[in-house]
């Protein structure tokens, strides 16, 4: 109990004093996670819409596979990405291991299935509504997907934020591919893991509270900017 209180106090102190190390790892956490969310959204949202609109032989299988991949174990993703990016691996020449880019790659793999699945679910319902209209004005596949993505943008925002939520709190994969190098690849979650291993529970908790506050702040900001809760709109 004492540790929790101490953690809250230290968290407040770190934030009030603009601790430079804290600012650095917060910015790096955001850089990595926002990078991964942007890439995943660019892949996942159109993929979800495409799966909703198109009928093909293995569609059900692809959807089931995508849903299953939502539960990808991050440590395994980290290990596989490590083996690819390792100097002895097939992509070793790119020299990406132990860089923030490697962390973005790992997180992108983890959250793309999540974003695509949620997007697919949302678009499928919208497609049921729009189906007759879009067919009757003889739109192309591309136009249909674009219309659905635009009109479903609020639900898709939730998909991206869910991806953000999973990525910002993830530690297993980025610890392996990033290496938790001080001032290079250390982010909030890997710093928390490190401090816990040192038995510095109050500092670890303080960083944890900062992480939670950051997640709330980002979500609140995105929602207020997109005005999802504006009166008269549901």
Which residues bind to another protein, rule: CB under 8 A?
Answer: 28, 31, 34-35, 38-39, 41-42, 86-89, 92, 95, 97-101, 104, 179-182, 184, 194, 196-202
Closest CB 100 distance from another protein, rounded Å = 5
Q: Which is nearer to another protein, 38 or 62 (CB)?
A: 38
Closest CB 181 distance from another protein, rounded Å = 5
- Of 154, 158, 66, 167, nearest to 111 by C-alpha is 167
Site of tokens 């038995």: 199
Q: Which two tokens stand for residue 35?
A: 């990078």
Closest CB 217 distance from another protein, rounded Å = 19
Site of tokens 């106090």: 9
- Give me the sign of the Cα torsion angle 45, 49, 50, 52: positive
- The whole-angstrom separation of Cα 212 and Cα 72 is 23
- Give me the sign of the Cα torsion angle 96, 102, 105, 106: positive
Q: Which two tokens stand for residue 154?
A: 């609020």
Q: Which is nearer to another protein, 63 or 207 (CB)?
A: 207
Closest CB 197 distance from another protein, rounded Å = 3
Q: Which is nearer to another protein, 86 or 219 (CB)?
A: 86
Closest CB 199 distance from another protein, rounded Å = 4
Residue 96 neighbours by CB under 8 Å, 6+ apart: 85, 102, 105
Q: Which is nearer to another protein, 87 or 233 (CB)?
A: 87
Q: Which is nearer to another protein, 117 or 180 (CB)?
A: 180
- Of 132, 157, 149, 140, nearest to 226 by C-alpha is 157
From residue 211, give the alpha-carbon distance in Å to each of 81, 126, 138: 25, 34, 48
- Give me the sign of the Cα torsion angle 56, 61, 64, 68: negative
Q: Which is nearer to another protein, 37 or 162 (CB)?
A: 37
Closest CB 218 distance from another protein, rounded Å = 15
């Amino acid at each position: 109990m004492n540790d929790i209180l101490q953690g809250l106090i230290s968290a407040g102190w770190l934030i009030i004093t603009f601790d430079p190390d804290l600012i650095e790892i917060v910015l790096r956490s955001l850089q990595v996670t926002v990078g991964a969310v942007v890439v995943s959204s660019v892949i996942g949202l159109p993929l979800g819409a495409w799966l909703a609109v198109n009928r093909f032989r293995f569609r059900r299988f692809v959807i089931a596979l995508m849903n299953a991949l939502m539960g990808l174990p991050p440590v395994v993703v980290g290990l596989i990405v490590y083996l690819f990016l390792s100097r002895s691996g097939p992509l070793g020449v790119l020299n990406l291991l132990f860089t923030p880019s490697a962390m973005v790659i790992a997180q992108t793999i983890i959250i793309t299935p999540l974003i695509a699945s949620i997007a697919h679910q949302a678009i499928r319902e919208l497609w049921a509504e729009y189906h007759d209209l879009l067919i009757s004005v003889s739109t192309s596949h591309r136009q249909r997907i674009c219309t659905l993505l635009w009109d479903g943008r609020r639900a898709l925002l939730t998909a991206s934020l869910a991806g953000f939520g999973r990525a910002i709190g993830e530690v297993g994969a980025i610890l392996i591919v990033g290496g938790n190098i001080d001032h290079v690849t250390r982010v909030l979650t890997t710093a928390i893991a490190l401090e816990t291993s040192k038995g510095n529970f109050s500092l670890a908790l303080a960083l944890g509270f900062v992480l939670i506050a950051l997640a709330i702040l980002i979500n609140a900001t995105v929602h207020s900017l997109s005005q999802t809760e504006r009166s008269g709109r549901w």
